[in-house]
Amino acid sequence: MSSFVPTVTDLSSVYTLNVDAQAERYAQLKTSFETKFGAKPDFVARAPGRVNIIGEHIDYCGFPVFPMAIAPDTLIAARTNGTDKVRIANIDSAKYPSREFSASSDIFDIDSSVHEWSNYFKCGYRGIFDHLGRKDGKGIDVLTDGTVPAGGGLSSSAAFVCATELAVQRVNGVDLALSQLASIAAHAECYVGVNSGGMDQTASIMGQQGSALFIEFHPELRATPVKFPETSPPLAFIIANTLVVSDKHVTAPVCYNLRVVETRVGALILAKHLGIADQPACRNVDPLTFKIVMDEYFADQDSGAKDEVEVWIHRLTAMLEQSKKAFSAHPEGYTREQMAAALAMTPEELSAKVHERQFPVRAEKFKLLNRALHAFSEALRVVKFRQVCECPSGDVAKALGSLMNESQDSCRDLFECSCPELDELCTIARKAGSLGSRLTGAGWGGCSVHMVPADKVADVKKALSEQYYAVRHPGLSVKQLNDALFATTPGRGACYLGL
Ligand code: NG1
Ligand code: MG
């Protein structure tokens, strides 16, 4: 195998990628590309997965979240092929067979009713060309290799879509700003039928080595790097995969997309309760989110608060109280008819308003109160988490850990996006020394994240492997275990690797 150690020809900041550890993988990608397509790739695009430290299911409510990019990633080796064909292949060809599309037509057709790996490539491709308002892409040969576990809550999908965008823009001589690429990718993932927020794509594109990101979505996308406080011993993060595959594509109507609808209808009813539903900022905006409702409610009020954090805390606390009143008619959950009646609409009108044609959902009861209480309290925890990181005082490790544990409780009890395996991983890890343990990503399976003092990492990993993996998955190989259970640090975001 040729020694192929790429240089990083970057999209953004300075950084060092641990190329040595990956050299063999890069070399294999390059060799396989040549075997497959009979020519060298022009470049390799790389986009990482992410772990969300805190702020779950609130990106689509317009609230800030706190993820970081991680080392597992998607690589795309690519070259212009001088034809009208888009030919895509995967190193894991047994699981992901090769596909071919025409660059000007069928690449834009995304059938969200089938679960097909190439749909994510099409999303990234189409996102770029929708943005450009054109359909005249150049033919491209692509070989991809991913190390982010699929369906694991670490955003394998976003890593693939973002790497695709990088490859497609480069082949077509386009050079978009990072925040544009992140927004385009977030929007593009909706083509596969998931009504997702923008956290994963922003973390993947804009991640910074050594820092987590405080990502705001409203009024516009803003990613602020935040370092974890220096503690003794330092803080480390462990990721533990339940190995319960949460296939969002299949479960969306009763899980992810349902939560999006619950929070959207919640925002409409809250706006009505607060008497601001008819103000232009609420009436003309689509979708209306809890964040927009909150901002509009406070638009003309001066809380007397001095700094940004105080303003957040004041507003979010008030919204928690208002939610208890706004949804008091059916604290245990609304039927479709009851939600529509609360908004003086027909169920059909409401269904159209929340884009159910594109993202249909199914439920007997829509638990608007609990979903709102989760969203506002989770946003509060994110703001407090950032505050502890930036202005550390007292036992910061304990403070951060408590916020993560409270987030897990809220995800489990109010948002109902945990599962017994996630709860079990959290319990085992905490007993072994984790300060904060919670699910990460969409939940209902997938991964958990644990904040652990560096001197307890070995203990926590040992406890998880003995009490969870050895019991529930006794046949795992060492590699499978290492892929499921590993320590991680904040990694850098997307980049190009030069040859
Ligand atoms: P994952 O874990 O990648 O399925 C999803 C959403 C995020 C966010 C989280 C929950 C996609 C692509 N991503 O992440 O936007 O809402 O769940 O916080 O759907
Ligand atoms: Mg995903």
- Looking at residue 280, its pLDDT comes to 92
Is 200 noted as a catalytic residue in this protein?
yes
Task: Please tell me if the CB atom of residue 418 comes closer than 6 angstroms to any atom of ligand 1.
Answer: no
pLDDT confidence of residue 196: 87
Predicted pLDDT at 473: 96
Model pLDDT, residue 305: 67
Domain 7-230+490-497 adopts which CATH fold?
Ribosomal Protein S5; domain 2 (3.30.230)
Given this model, what pLDDT does residue 7 score?
52
Ligand 1 midpoint to CA 199 (Å): 7
Q: What is the model's pLDDT at position 303?
A: 67
* pLDDT band at 445; cut points 50, 70, 90: very high
pLDDT of residue 19: 57
For 286-321, how does the pLDDT look when each residue is reduced to its tens digit (9 = 90+)? 999 999 999 999 998 876 767 999 999 999 999 999
- The distance of Cα 70 from the centroid of its chain, to the nearest Å, equals 12
Q: Using 50, 70 and 90 to split pLDDT, how confident is the model at 4?
A: very low
Specify the pLDDT at position 66: 98
**Per-residue DSSP letter, 100:** E
**Closest residue by CA, ligand 1 atom 5:** 442
Residue 8 CA to ligand 1 center (angstroms) comes to: 28
By most ligand atoms within 8 Å of CB, the mutation choice from 155, 189, 249 for ligand 1 is 155
Name the band, by pLDDT with cuts 50, 70 and 90, for residue 5. very low
Does ligand 1 have an atom closer than 6 angstroms to the CB of 493?
A: no
Written as six digits, the tokens of 77 are 């080796």
The tokens 């993202």 sit on which residue? 359
Residue 140 has pLDDT above 50, yes or no: yes
**Pairing label, strands 85-90, 140-146:** parallel
User: In the predicted model, what is the mean pLDDT of residues 379-398?
Assistant: 97
Helix (H, G, I), strand (E, B) or coil at 76: strand
Distance between CA atoms of residues 241 and 335, nearest Å: 35
The reply to whether ligand 1 has any atom less than 6 angstroms from the CB of 50 is: no
* Domain residue limits, the chain: 7-230+490-497, 256-416
More confident residue, 100 or 1: 100
Which residues on neighbouring strands pair with residue 45, listed in sequence order? 76, 496
Q: What is the mean pLDDT of residues 236-247?
A: 93
- What are the distances in angstroms from CA 160 to CA 37, 93, 416? 20, 16, 28
- Domain 256-416 fold is de novo design (two linked rop proteins) (1.20.1440)
Per-residue DSSP letter, 226:
E
Cis peptide bond upstream of 287, omega within 30: yes
Q: What percent of the chain shows pLDDT beyond 90?
A: 87
pLDDT at 112 over 70: yes
Which pair of structure tokens corresponds to residue 145? 């290799």
Phi, psi of 147 (to 5 degrees): -115, 5
Question: What pLDDT is stored for residue 21 in this prediction?
Answer: 66
7-230+490-497 matches 256-416 in fold: no
Candidate from 59, 191, 359, 447 with most ligand 1 atoms within 8 A of CB, to mutate: 59
State phi, psi for 453 to the nearest 5 degrees.
-60, 140
What are the pLDDT digits (tens) for 353-362?
A: 999 988 999 9
Q: Is 153 in the pocket of ligand 1 (CB under 6 A)?
A: yes
Please, which residues have CB within 8 angstroms of residue 478's CB and are 6 or more apart in sequence?
Answer: none
Q: Whose CA is nearest to atom 4 of ligand 1?
A: 442
Predicted confidence at residue 11, as pLDDT, reads 46
Stated length of the chain? 499
59, 141, 145, 200: which one is catalytic?
A: 200
Q: pLDDT by residue (tens digit) across 165-224?
A: 999 999 999 999 999 999 999 999 889 888 889 999 999 999 999 999 999 999 999 999
> Which residue do the tokens 């439920």 mark?
363
Contacts of 261 (CB under 8 A, 6+ apart): 195, 354, 356, 359, 361, 366
Look at residue 2 in the predicted model and tell me its pLDDT: 38
**Per-residue model confidence as pLDDT tens digits over 314-350:** 999 999 999 999 999 999 999 999 999 999 999 999 9
Give pLDDT tens digits for 31-46.
999 999 999 999 999 9
Nearest ligand 1 atom, CA 196: 19
From the list 11, 41, 9, the residue with the least C-alpha distance to 27 is 41
Is residue 7 within 8 Å of residue 497, measured between CB atoms? Answer: yes
List, as ranges, residues with CB under 5 A of the ion ligand 2: 155, 157
